[in-house]
Amino acid sequence: MNVYATLQLNLTMERTMKKVTMKDIALEANVSVATVSYIINNVKTQTIPQETRERVLEIVKRLNYVPNLAARSLVKQKTGLMGILVNREENQGFWRRFHYADFISELEGLLAKKGYHVLLYSLDAENPNPQIILERKLDGVFLIDPSEESFHNISRQFPLVPLVVIDSHIDDPLFFKVLPDFKSAMANAIQFSTDREFVLVVEKYNNLGIIKTLYRESGLEPDNIFTMSNEADLKHFLSIHKGKKVIAVNEFIGVVVAKYAETKDMIVICTSGCPEILPMACDKITFTRTKAVIAEDIMAKILEDDQVDKLDKFVYLVPSE
**29 and 116 housed in the same domain:** no
Which of 42, 73, 104 is the last residue in one of the domains? 73
**312 and 269 housed in the same domain:** no
Amino acid at 237: F
Residue from 165, 167, 83, 79 nearest 120 by CA: 83
**144 and 277 housed in the same domain:** no
Which of 14, 49, 73 is the last residue in one of the domains? 73
C-alpha 32 chain-centroid distance = 18
**131 and 265 housed in the same domain:** no
321 residues of the chain, pLDDT tens digit each = 444 444 454 544 444 446 788 888 889 989 888 888 888 776 665 678 888 888 988 888 888 776 654 455 445 567 889 999 988 777 788 999 999 999 999 999 999 999 999 999 887 656 666 666 666 788 899 999 988 888 887 887 777 788 999 999 888 878 899 999 999 999 999 999 888 899 999 999 988 999 999 999 999 999 999 999 999 999 999 999 999 999 999 999 999 999 999 999 999 999 999 999 999 999 999 999 999 999 999 999 888 876 677 788 899 999 997
- For the chain, the domain total comes to 3
**172 and 206 housed in the same domain:** no
Return the number of other C-beta atoms located less than 10 Å from residue 194's C-beta. 8
> What's the distance, Cα to Cα, between the start and end of the chain in Å?
67
CATH number at residue 232: 3.40.50.2300
Q: Which residues of 130-169 are buried (b: 16+ CB within 10 A; e: fewer)?
A: beebeeeebbbbbbbbbbbebbebbbebbbebbbbbbbbb
**195 and 276 housed in the same domain:** yes
Residue span of the structural domain in which 47 resides: 3-73
Residue from 207, 204, 200 nearest 96 by CA: 204
Residue from 107, 97, 285, 301 nearest 180 by CA: 285
Global pTM value: 0.76
Q: Which residues of 4-29 are buried (b: 16+ CB within 10 A; e: fewer)?
A: eeeeeeeebeebeeeebebebbbebb
